[in-house]
């Protein structure tokens, strides 16, 4: 009892501290978000800038002094909810805003590592997250922080107190909708800043959608479904249909067609377009949905003013392998053949690294970034995959009993050449750093019909490594040529994001628990630190009081232990954690 009283007293004191800090803290403006990449003292967007290049111009920590990087503090997410921490923290005015699994968020005083507030979403029974209880991060604007919850809601919290300002529904969690990505804040001329969200649930036959809301009130401004035949909305009324009904879908299959926008999006201030990846078509059994199945396994460019799709590009039309191509599309300017191209890059689940013209979606190039790809013989000059019909899992209707089609071994596995974990683009080396995995799968099809809230796959599968000694592979790739410049091999599959800096460093975490730093030109491992549990999140770096900090969220989990098949053996010994680690070079070593 006494202990509880003191705890209560302590918490009331810290609330006082927040109120004080709050009065000194400036609000975040849309210009701060758009300029986030160049302002090193804060991180107010997912990906260190709207283009999500995950590149920091900071060079205080470099190849020569990285050996002196030591932890400052570690903060526990506590309780029994430790698993599955995929979050990237935000930094503003000496406060870290970090989300955790099971739809939680904390504000932490960076100077001391002490909690300022915690928010725990009250989740209903019966939520249906397909691929663990993760959250990937928050957005910040004005005096609010925003994040999505596993029951498919978006919540706005007062950034100084953690109290709910508004909370809105993205989708029906009982039908399989959930939300795990970081929201994206974009400027518009007509509506002011908008907060954009995607959705998750492609395994339950949901309809992928992007929704745009007023960040002040949470009121919906527009919505744009990804599956053709479905209607968008604008200012509360129906706007336009996505595509043309039944152009690339048979019958009513478009009504539960998937295409979930579960990884969020990026924004390019240059083209004023928001880029979203769209997930796998539903069901997985491709014989039930003849056609290209637009816009599944695609990148779409949306005009934030009205939610209209400006262009779309399918990486895996008529997907039959769960090549769930939501992968982030990173705008960057590429010098090719002496010309500067307004390009965008995406490393797809299907194993190919795509360069598109970000102004119009035209195909520029595609090159494999994982080995031994089997599902396609290549990508043709128009950007279409050259399918290998022998390596598409067979039609169950053609089997003797109609219950199971021919099984094939396909590479990459459905968890992808690259999954959710974001790559980084260095403005110093002009290279992309891709966290990838070398694995394949046995996959076969089964009959399936849609039922609300039930898995809608029509497939069976098991994942297998393709090399004895490693699965994870961090690669440096030159986007102009598609050449792989260096590779770091990791025994367990890589499941965390990448960060690169002007200091010539590439950071990423491993399931074995190490945060590692590599030389951006050679791939030489320069530094590592054991955090005590698997890392499946994205590192950040920023400057505070003249010192460069690095932070990483730790906590093993995500889709690999749930879906990994044979691979699960490689990772079954990994222990759960659940914390944030913050590093810097101690003052007494900084000069050396």
Partner 1 sequence: MCGLLGKSANGTANAMLATKRTISLRQRFVTRVSVVKNSVPVVCLFLCLIFPALSHASRDIPADPFESVMWKLMVERHFPGGEVVFDSRVKVSAPKSAENQFHVPITVDATELSDVEEIVAVADLNPIAHILTVRPKKSLSFVGFRVKLQQATPIHVGVRTSDGVWHMGGAYIDAAGGGCTAPAMAHGMNNWMKTLGKTRASTRRESPLSARMTIRMRHPMDTGLAAGIPAFFMNQITVQDAAGETVAELDLYEPVSENPTITIKPKVGQVEETLSVLARDTEGNEFGFPLTVPAVAAQ
Residues that bind partner 1 (CB under 8 A): 1, 4-5, 8-9, 12, 79-80, 120-122, 124-126, 155, 163-167
Minimum Å gap between C-beta 8 and partner 1 is 7
How far, in Å, CA of 343 to CA of 168, rounded?
Answer: 35
| Closer by beta carbon to partner 1, 12 or else 572 | 12
| Token representation of residue 82 | 């430790």
CB 455 within 8 A of CB 442: no
| Closer by beta carbon to partner 1, 126 or else 236 | 126
| Closer by beta carbon to partner 1, 118 or else 544 | 118
| Token representation of residue 102 | 């099971």
| Closer by beta carbon to partner 1, 416 or else 557 | 557
| Closer by beta carbon to partner 1, 147 or else 275 | 147
Instruction: Give me the catalytic one of 42, 109, 322, 520.
Output: 322
How far, in Å, CA of 484 to CA of 387, rounded?
Answer: 24
Name the nearest CA neighbour of 345 among 433, 473, 272. 433
Minimum Å gap between C-beta 176 and partner 1 is 17
| Token representation of residue 586 | 């101690």
- Backbone φ and ψ for 569, nearest 5 degrees, come out as -60, -35
CA 543 to mean position of chain CA atoms: 24
Does residue 453 sit in helix, strand or coil?
A: coil
| Closer by beta carbon to partner 1, 5 or else 591 | 5
Minimum Å gap between C-beta 157 and partner 1 is 9
Residue 93, judged by CB atoms within 10 A of its CB (0-12, 13-18, 19+), counts as middle
How far, in Å, CA of 472 to CA of 66, rounded?
Answer: 23
- Backbone φ and ψ for 566, nearest 5 degrees, come out as -60, -30
Does residue 515 sit in helix, strand or coil?
A: strand
Q: Alpha helix (H) ranges present in 226-331?
A: none
Minimum Å gap between C-beta 153 and partner 1 is 8
Name the nearest CA neighbour of 522 among 69, 59, 63, 60. 63
Minimum Å gap between C-beta 144 and partner 1 is 12
Q: E-strand spans in 159-219?
A: 164-169, 184-186, 194-197, 209-213
Active site residue 322: yes
| Closer by beta carbon to partner 1, 8 or else 31 | 8
Minimum Å gap between C-beta 103 and partner 1 is 9
| Closer by beta carbon to partner 1, 80 or else 469 | 80
Element (H, E) at 33: helix 30-34
Minimum Å gap between C-beta 139 and partner 1 is 17
Cα-based distances in Å from 84 to 44, 136, 155, 436, 559: 23, 10, 20, 19, 9
How far, in Å, CA of 347 to CA of 263, rounded?
Answer: 13
How far, in Å, CA of 414 to CA of 24, rounded?
Answer: 48
| Token representation of residue 257 | 């067609």
How far, in Å, CA of 567 to CA of 561, rounded?
Answer: 8
| Closer by beta carbon to partner 1, 121 or else 423 | 121
Report the residue count for the chain.
592
Q: E-strand spans in 65-182?
A: 70-76, 90-92, 95-100, 104-109, 114-120, 139-141, 144-149, 153-158, 164-169
Minimum Å gap between C-beta 120 and partner 1 is 3
Pairing label, strands 330-336, 308-314:
unpaired
Minimum Å gap between C-beta 563 and partner 1 is 25
Minimum Å gap between C-beta 122 and partner 1 is 4
CA 154 to mean position of chain CA atoms: 17
Element (H, E) at 340: strand 339-347
| Closer by beta carbon to partner 1, 166 or else 387 | 166
How far, in Å, CA of 360 to CA of 358, rounded?
Answer: 6
Q: What amino acid positions are annotated as catalytic residues? A: 322
């Amino acid at each position: 009892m006494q202990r509880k009283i003191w705890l209560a007293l302590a918490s009331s004191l810290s609330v006082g501290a927040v109120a004080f800090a709050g009065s000194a803290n400036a609000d975040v403006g849309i210009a701060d978000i758009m300029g986030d990449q160049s302002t090193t003292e804060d991180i107010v967007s997912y990906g260190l800038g709207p283009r999500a290049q995950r590149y920091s111009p900071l060079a205080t920590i470099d190849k020569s002094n990285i050996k002196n990087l030591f932890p400052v503090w570690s903060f526990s997410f506590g309780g029994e909810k430790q698993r599955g921490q995929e979050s990237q923290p935000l930094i503003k005015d000496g406060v870290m805003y970090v989300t955790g699994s099971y739809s939680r968020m904390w504000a932490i005083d960076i100077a001391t590592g002490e909690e300022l507030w915690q928010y725990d979403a009250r989740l209903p029974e019966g939520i249906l997250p397909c691929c663990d209880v993760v959250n990937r991060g928050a957005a910040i604007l004005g005096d609010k922080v925003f994040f999505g919850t596993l029951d498919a809601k978006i919540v706005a919290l007062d950034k100084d107190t953690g109290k709910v300002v508004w909370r809105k529904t993205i989708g029906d969690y009982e039908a399989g909708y959930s939300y795990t990505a970081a929201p994206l804040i974009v400027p518009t001329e007509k509506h002011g800043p908008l907060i954009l969200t995607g959705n998750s649930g492609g395994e339950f036959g949901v309809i992928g959608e992007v929704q745009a809301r007023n960040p002040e009130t949470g009121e919906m401004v527009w919505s744009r479904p990804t599956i053709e035949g479905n209607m968008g909305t604008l200012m509360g009324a129906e706007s336009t249909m996505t595509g043309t009904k039944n152009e690339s879908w048979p019958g009513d299959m478009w009504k539960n067609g998937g295409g979930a926008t579960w990884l969020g999006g990026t924004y390019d201030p240059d083209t004023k377009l928001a880029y979203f990846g769209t997930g796998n078509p539903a069901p997985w059994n491709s014989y039930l949905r003849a056609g290209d199945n637009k816009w599944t396994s695609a990148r779409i460019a949306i005009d934030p003013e009205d939610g209209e799709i400006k262009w779309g590009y399918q990486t895996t039309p008529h997907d039959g392998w769960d090549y769930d191509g939501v992968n982030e599309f990173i705008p960057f300017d590429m010098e090719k053949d002496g010309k500067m191209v307004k390009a965008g890059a995406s490393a797809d689940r299907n194993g190919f690294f795509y360069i598109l013209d970000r102004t119009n979606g035209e195909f520029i190039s595609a090159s494999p970034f994982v080995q031994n790809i089997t599902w396609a013989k290549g990508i043709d000059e128009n950007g279409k995959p050259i399918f290998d019909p022998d390596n598409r899992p067979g039609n169950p209707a053609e089997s003797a009993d109609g219950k199971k089609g021919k099984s094939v071994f396909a590479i990459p596995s459905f968890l992808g050449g690259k999954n959710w974990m974001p790559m980084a683009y260095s403005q110093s080396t002009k290279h992309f750093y891709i966290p990838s995995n070398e694995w394949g799968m046995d996959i076969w099809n089964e009959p399936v019909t849609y039922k609300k809230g039930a898995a809608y796959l029509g497939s069976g599968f098991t994942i297998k490594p393709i090399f004895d000694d490693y699965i994870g592979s961090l690669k440096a790739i030159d986007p102009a040529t598609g050449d792989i410049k260096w590779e770091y091999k990791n025994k367990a599959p890589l499941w965390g994001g990448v960060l690169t800096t002007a200091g010539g460093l590439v950071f990423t975490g491993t399931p074995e628990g190490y945060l590692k730093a590599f030389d951006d030109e050679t791939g030489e491992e320069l530094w590592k630190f054991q955090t005590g549990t698997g890392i499946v999140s994205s590192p950040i770096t920023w400057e505070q009081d003249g010192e460069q900090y690095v932070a990483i969220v730790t906590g093993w989990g995500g889709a690999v232990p749930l879906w990994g098949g044979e691979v699960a053996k490689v990772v079954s010994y990994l222990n759960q954690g659940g914390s944030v680690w913050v590093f810097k070079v101690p003052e007494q070593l900084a000069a050396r």
